[in-house]
Each structure stands twice: as C-alpha cells, then as structure tokens.
Amino acid sequence: MVLADSESAVILRLRGPLDLKCQLDRIDEVPMQKAISRTFEALRLQVKSESCVLAVCNSPVLIWPNKSVFEEITPDAPFEDIFQFIQTDDQETSGKKSTKKKNRKGVSASIINLSLMMEATKPGPASAPILTRTVQKSHLLCATLPMDCAVWSNGSDTIKDGCERLMKALTRQLFEMEKVTLQCMKGTTLRVPEPLHFLLPEPNGLVTVVFPRGVPDKELEAQRRELHGQFELPDNRPFFRRANAYHFPNEPYKDGYLRNPHTVLTHPTLDNGKVYLVQGIYSYHHYMQDRMDDNGWGCAYRSLQTICSWFQQQGYVERGVPSHKEIQQALVEVGDKQVSFVGSRQWIGSIEVQAVLNHLLGVTSKIMFVSQGSELASKGRELANHFMTEGTPVMIGGGVLAHTILGVAWSETTGEIRYLILDPHYTGAEDLQVITEKGWCGWKGPDFWDQTAYYNLCLPQRPRVI
Amino acid sequence: MGRSYIVEDDVEGYLSKLCSQLAGPVTGLLIGQSTVQRDFVVMTTRTPQNDESADGGKSVDKEWVSEHARQVSRMLPGGLSVLGVFIISESDAKDTLTTLRQLVFSVENLISSERLWTPADDDVTDCVTLHVNPKTRKTVCRTFDVKDPKSVAKPADWKYQSGVCSSWTTVSCCLSVDLMVPLPENMAFTRNMDDCLKEELKVWAQQIERGVCLIDGKKLPEDSELKAGQKKNVRQTISAQLLITPDVQTAADVVQRCGGCVSVRGAIHSRAFLHSNKPKAKLAEKLLKRDIVSTVATRVQMLLEEPQKQNEENKGRKQTEQSCLPRRVFCPVKSTGPLSVCDYQFSDEGLSEMTDRFKEMLDMDAAEEDLDATREIIAEVIESEATEEEEPAEENEMLDPWRNNYIGVAMATAVALLALAASIVYLSDV
C-alpha cells in the first residue's frame, strides 16, 4: 500500500463489531472448520449487502456503499469535503472548521473515522418470524469480530472511490480473520482474530495485520518472520510486535506522559552537519511524577525510566516502566547494593543503569567514559553512530547530574556539535510548551557539560530480534 | 396544576350507553397517549364479562380488570397505552376512589412487569381514573402517580372534543429480527427455553434502544420537529430506519457447550402514533423503538403461553422444531383517521377469530374487510420429527421459511401451463 505523499493525505478508518455466531453440531476438526468458514462467508455476504451502512463519526453523513446511497454528501465530491460535517468537541456546532491536524513538519495527519453499522429495517411486507428450537448436545460459537480497516486516501479522491476501497479492505480483512481463526484453532479453543495497524517505512506505508488475540508476542515469531519477508524488512529489528502498532493521530495516550517532545523542536543546522536522533517512541520521565518526590536525587532513575519506556514502546519488552523501588530492588538482586538500599534516596550512575537494564529488561549496554567534560565535544562520531545503528536514548551521568541524550547534531568537517538533551530535573506538569520553550527538552552546546568533571555514558544496545 | 385530558367525543357516547344499559358497577379501560405536553384519550373499552366470577360480576375483580388491561396493552401499537381505568357506579365517591386507586396500581404493575424496554426519565407516570355516576351522569376525574406508592388523588380536567382521533402522525418500519441463543446443557425442555429467550430478548431490546434512528433517511437532531405534522387532517405517515451494531461479546470462552439453541428469525412491522401538534423526532424514535421491542416480546410470550406438546426425553438424537410467531393484523379505531389497534394471528386462525377478539377485548365492531393483514405474511413451516444424527447435507438453517402462498400459486400455475404446452406439442405432433 503506497503512502500518499501529498499534503492532503487522509486516513480513512472504518471500525465496527460483527457478530460471529454459529452452532457447532460436531467439534471434529473438519466439520468445525467447515461450519466456521460458512459463517465467515455469511458475514462477507452481509457486508456486501444493501443493509451495510458506513456512518462518519460525529457527523450526520451516512453512506450505504452497496446501493450507492449517500446522505448529506454527493458521491463524486472529494473526501476532504467530509471534514466540513465533522463536529469536534472544541467547535461550535454551527462552525464549519476543518479538523485537519498539522504537525510542525507540515505533513497533515488527517483522519476520518467511520463506523460500520447494519440497517435492520427493510422494505415490507414482513415475513413474520419463526422460532426454531434445536435440542441437541452441541457447542455454540459466539464471538465479536473487531473490524478495523484503514486506508490511505488522497484527499481529493472521490467519496465513492474511498468507500469502495474501504469495503474491499473490509472483505479482505474477513478473509484474513477466517484464515487466522482456523490456523489458531486447537480443539474447541478459539482465538478472536484482532487487526492491528503498523506504519512501515516507505514504500509500504500503513499496513493491517490480523493477529490472534491473547497470544503473546513471543509465540508469534514465525508469523512476524513471514511478514518481514513479505514486506522486505530487515530481520534484526521488530516492526510487528503489538507495541509497534500505529498510534492514530486522534487517539491520545491515556497514561498522561508526553511522547517524543523533541519532535516539535527546530533542529540546528550546522555547516556540513547532520542531525542524528533517537529512533522510535519514548515517554518523558522526570522529577515529581507518579507522586514520587525524588527532587534532588532521582535524576538518573528518571533517565533510566525514559530508556525503559523506549524498550517497551518499541516492543522489545512487555513489562512496564519500573518504579524507583523496583529499580533499587533489582540492584539488590544482582548483588550491586545492600538490602538497605531499597527505599533510600541514594543516587545511581550509569553502571547501575546498565545493570538494571540487563537484569529487568535483558538489554545490554555499552559504557563510554570521558575523563573530562570537554572531551565530549570530540565524541560526535561515536554518538552519531550510536543513534544511527541503535537509536536508543543515552543516559549520561557526571558531576552531580544525570541527563538523557536523545540525539546529536554533528558536522564531520568542522567538528561542531550539539546535543539534544532531555532533562529529568523538571518538576512541573506535562506541558509541552513549557518543556520545549524553557529548554527542559532542547538542544545544548558543548558548554552544557561541566568541562572538568568526568562523565560516564550508558548506551543501551538494541536486541537483534524481531 | 393538574393534568388535562382531551377526550374523543365518541367516548362520551360510549360511556353514556354503558350507564343506561347495565346494572351493577361497570369498569373499563381508558386508552390514549400521555406526554409531558398533552394527554389524549382516544377510546375506551369496558371490562369483559367474567363468566367464572363467583358473584356473577357484581363486585369489581381487581385481577380480572388487570388481566384485561394486560391483554389490551398487547393490542396497542406504539404511542397508545392504557392510561387508566373508569368505573360507572352509584357508590359513594370515596369508596369508588379507593377502588379506582387499587385498580390503577394493579393494572400498571401487571403491564410494566412484561415490559422489556427501560422507562425514560421524561415518561409520564400519572394514571387517570374516571368515576361516572349513572344516575346523575356526573364525572369525576382524578390522577395518581403510579411511581409513588403513597400518592394521593389529584384533580384533573376531562374535556370532550371532536376529531381527537384524526390528527395523528404515524411512524412505521419493517424490521428484521435475528436472534440466536444457546440452551443450557441440562434442560427441562420448555422452562429453560423460556428463561433463555427472555434474557436474550432483554439484550436485544438494549441493542434496539441503542440503535440509530433515521427519519426520512436522516438522523434528526433530538429537539427537531417532524415536518409531516404541519398539515391538518391529512394522513401523515413517516417511514423510519434503524441502524444497529451488535453487542460486544466479552466471554472468555468463545466456544461454549450447550444443549441446543433457539433462534427467532424473520421480520416484523412496527408502528407508532404521535399527536400531530408539534411532533418531536425524539418522541417518534422513543415510541417506535418501544413498539419494536413490545411486538417481538409479545409474540414470543404468546407462543410460549401456547400449550406445549410434550416431548419425549431427547435420546441423543437431534430434535428440531419450528413454530411460527403470530403475524400482526391491524384494525382502524375509527373508519377515518390513522389510528389503529392490532392483534396477532396464528397460522391456524382465521380473520373471523380476529374480529371476535377485537369485539371481546376492545368492544370494537370490526368487519373482516376492515382489517389490514397486508403488513406481515405468515411464513410456512415444515413440521419435522426427531431425526437421526446423519451426516447433514447442510446445517438446519437451510430449512426454507420464506415460502408463502403466492409462490405456491405461481408454481401451480407454472406446472399447469407446462402441462398445457406439453399437451399442445403432443397433439400437434403429426
């Protein structure tokens, strides 16, 4: 699926539940598979029928795609027109503002959400209902399929074309769901097939994959390997773990942490210089969060939390970000600290960060040592390489402070260097504007470091797995 | 400020007739629509004679009146309901009021116990009582709030007017029903099926209530008025559509053991009435959805109330039985005007049985020609006996319920024509 490149790219997302219900007279494998296939076939007919309705969320627009009935809009109008009808919370009901969201880079990430519904009414006369009762020891299959299709559309595509593509995607998804259901069937245990969207690098773009719900990532490696082959992706980094699923622009994270605050910054331009940044998504952890008052002593812990959040959100680990206590407990368990360490307000350094990453996450890290801060200016090549090959956030500790380095801007010819710093000493609220304007996340020069103190850097290594 | 009931003129005549005809107290039901803005009474019906009553009908039998109300309530399409009770009696006003109070609470309790839809906050909970003295023809109208067990009688206005039955807007639709519910493994055949079905109907009722209602193809904002209500005395009918999404199943086990299953499949015609004076879209939607739920629940209930054939214990063989739910037949309240009442016709009944029931329950003199039986078709059903568990060619859904009389006739005609054609060919073959 090609990523639409134009300014007016729109994601059309169709979601809705479909009932998967059938009586299973026999639970031997073959008859059960046949019964399930028949039920899926009935569902495919249902979505091709005239009772299938697409409702644009938060708007009066309704579309019957299989009988070309369009309410409030005309089929040949461009899909962009639908934005006029959508009402968001912060909009007067009579306003006709566009709900496009643009980020700083100018690429629109507009999304139109549609709901899948079925029309229960039909032209009369009605054939009065029949009650059928079957008495037989059997089984009943009863599940809800969480249909979720997303297609990229050029904003100037007609509504009719966009709907056709959505409906094709819907039918294809039912086929894939049938395949996954039958593949993962063991006796009478069935897994509900669940679609997930992944944003792959060009030229693949947004891709939807159906996985069996409840099966952990580690049992799905074979499927992921096949997908990596199919989309010609490198086999040393994950693209299809559940944590890698695409986060749609209109779905805010519910845990309250800021994600990637550095993306709103303007990056420095150096003569012959390039910018090397952390790859992927991390959360900003800092003083005073989680009702933990660690002001003055917790900076390295927070930097470690930011690093752990990166590994979780890239799908390398399933465990959540550890608390201060859990970090301290881990150090006791590896024999690095005494039991009395737990609950204390003692600082940790990059060696401890390395140990915890290894013990709790199974992640190895390289340690880089500089005897004085002024030497950091010469580490441009190493840091640039790190961000290119590993792309993980770096914890740096020295003097009396710890920070997180998210990237470097470095010129090979002039040697000029800047560091993108995420500062864990911030004590305020999750206000992106304050954090970026006041420099809590910002680009710093070589004079940011204490020129005479020594520093240790912990550079976490990305596991070579999918 | 008490309620004010606007009553169809004919009701006055009916009550007068009852005054002069009968001795002893006469009770009956008042039928109409009560909304926050207005209260209308469109018809009344006396309680039928109870042949088995101990004292030959001299005293008021609360259970009998309530049972009558329950059955009448099933015959009222959306928007119409039993609003209250009347009594024609010479007794003291105070005693009568007590009797009326008991009747009204009993009626309301029985009717609401069958309801599957949840009452809304803006529903009117006042019920009306009318006491007519046959000698003086004096009428006393009071209301009680049936939500409050301690409520006292409040005075209300009772005004006769002509044409109350004419200015109504009809909202209707034809809706598919498709329910499937598993039966538990250990079954007492009929009883468990009743409970399972009722539970499933409750879930289905919520699905209907959540559904998106379209009027003339559009989803109207809640406070908007229906355009059809503008013209007076012109029959206004609006067709509605309903869009639904299934419930999300959250059971951990997707495949469950069961002792069989019950399904209800087909379609129903649903109808609701709103008074034409500024009819609101929100009210139309509420009344139509309630009618949809009621008509299906009533029919299932009626089928379950039919005497069941005793089935032998299931010896591991698959037993399938199909029964037709009765179809809905409408009868106009007055020869002109849009209002109608309805009843349900089983496949073994004729239209004459319908007219008998309209007479008995609603004291309506309807002729067979007046009845509208075109909205629903009774499907034919195949009587099947217990079958051996052979390798089925297809699942039991393949039984074809959609044959109807017309196809039967067409087939017969086609066969006849073929025979004729064959004979012509034969005869002309030299």
Indicate yes or no: CB of A134 within 8 angstroms of CB of B314: no
Indicate yes or no: CB of B321 within 8 angstroms of CB of A24: no
A131 touches chain B (CB under 8 A): yes
Predicted confidence band of residue B429 (pLDDT cuts 50, 70, 90) = very low
B200 touches chain A (CB under 8 A): no
- The per-residue pLDDT for range A371-422, each reduced to its tens digit, is 999 999 999 999 999 999 999 999 999 978 999 999 999 999 999 999 999 9
Indicate yes or no: CB of A128 within 8 angstroms of CB of B325: yes
Which of B317, B320, B312 has the alpha carbon at shortest distance from B389? Answer: B317
* Strand locations in B205-275 (E): 212-215, 236-244, 255-275
Looking at the partner chain, which of B174, B254, B260 has a beta carbon nearest the beta carbon of A138?
B260
A23 touches chain B (CB under 8 A): yes
Integer Cα distance of B347 and B26 in angstroms: 35
Least-confidence region, from A127-141, A195-209, B54-68, B410-424: B410-424
User: Residue A286: CB partners within 8 Å, gap ≥ 6?
Assistant: A302, A423, A424, A425, A426, A427, A440
Q: Which chain A residues are within 8 Å of B291, Cβ to Cβ?
A: none
Integer Cα distance of A293 and A296 in angstroms: 9
Give the pTM.
0.82
Please tell me whether residue B269 adopts helix, strand or coil conformation.
strand
Q: Which chain A residues are within 8 Å of B187, Cβ to Cβ?
A: 135
Which of B211, B369, B232 has the alpha carbon at shortest distance from B286? Answer: B211
Indicate yes or no: CB of B321 within 8 angstroms of CB of A133: yes
Q: Which chain A residues are within 8 Å of B198, Cβ to Cβ?
A: none
Classify residue A326 by burial, with Cβ atoms within 10 Å: 0-12, 13-18, 19+.
middle
Residue B413 has pLDDT above 80, yes or no: no
Token pair in block for residue A224: 């992921």
Mutation site, B183, B203, B254, B285, interface A, largest A CB count within 10 A: B254
- Per-residue pLDDT, averaged over A118-123, amounts to 93
* Strand A193-200 with A205-212, pairing: antiparallel
B382 touches chain A (CB under 8 A): no
Residue B405 has pLDDT above 50, yes or no: no
B6 touches chain A (CB under 8 A): no
Token pair in block for residue A377: 């200016």
Indicate yes or no: CB of B255 within 8 angstroms of CB of A123: no
Q: What is the share, in percent, of chain A residues with pLDDT greater than 90? A: 72
Q: Which chain B residues are within 8 Å of A25, Cβ to Cβ?
A: 318, 389, 392, 395
Predicted confidence band of residue B78 (pLDDT cuts 50, 70, 90) = very high
User: Residue B194: CB partners within 8 Å, gap ≥ 6?
Assistant: B304
Whole-number pLDDT of residue A344: 95
At residue B348, φ and ψ (nearest 5 deg) are -95, 10
User: Before B48, cis peptide (omega within 30)?
Assistant: no
Indicate yes or no: CB of B187 within 8 angstroms of CB of A135: yes
Looking at the partner chain, which of B218, B322, B374 has a beta carbon nearest the beta carbon of A71?
B218
- Ordered domains of chain A (ranges, CATH): 10-86+108-118+139-244 (no CATH), 273-460 (3.90.70.130)
B402 touches chain A (CB under 8 A): yes
Indicate yes or no: CB of A120 within 8 angstroms of CB of B396: no
* Strand B81-88 with B39-46, pairing: unpaired
Distance from CA of A382 to the nearest CA of B (A): 51
- The per-residue pLDDT for range A22-34, each reduced to its tens digit, is 888 888 889 999 9
CA contacts within 13 A on the Cβ side of A224: 22
Range A89-128 burial, b when 16+ CB lie within 10 A, else e: eeeeeeeeeebbeeeeeeebebbbbbbbbbbbbeebebbb
Looking at the partner chain, which of B254, B266, B320 has a beta carbon nearest the beta carbon of A143?
B254
Beta bridge partners of A207: A198
Which of A284, A285, A277 has the alpha carbon at shortest distance from A302? Answer: A285
In the DSSP assignment, the letter for residue A128 is -
With a CB-CB cutoff of 8 Å, which residues 258-317 of chain B face chain A?
Answer: 258-269, 296, 299-300, 303, 311, 314, 316-317
- Ordered domains of chain B (ranges, CATH): 4-161 (3.40.140.10), 165-248+256-306 (no CATH), 330-336+344-377 (no CATH)
Indicate yes or no: CB of A128 within 8 angstroms of CB of B267: yes
The better pLDDT of the pair B248, B42 is held by B42
Active site residues of A: 299, 423, 425
Length of chain A equals: 466
Q: Which residue has the tokens 């709901």?
A: A115
Residue B208 has pLDDT above 50, yes or no: yes
- Per-residue pLDDT, averaged over B179-184, amounts to 88
Integer Cα distance of A100 and A308 in angstroms: 33
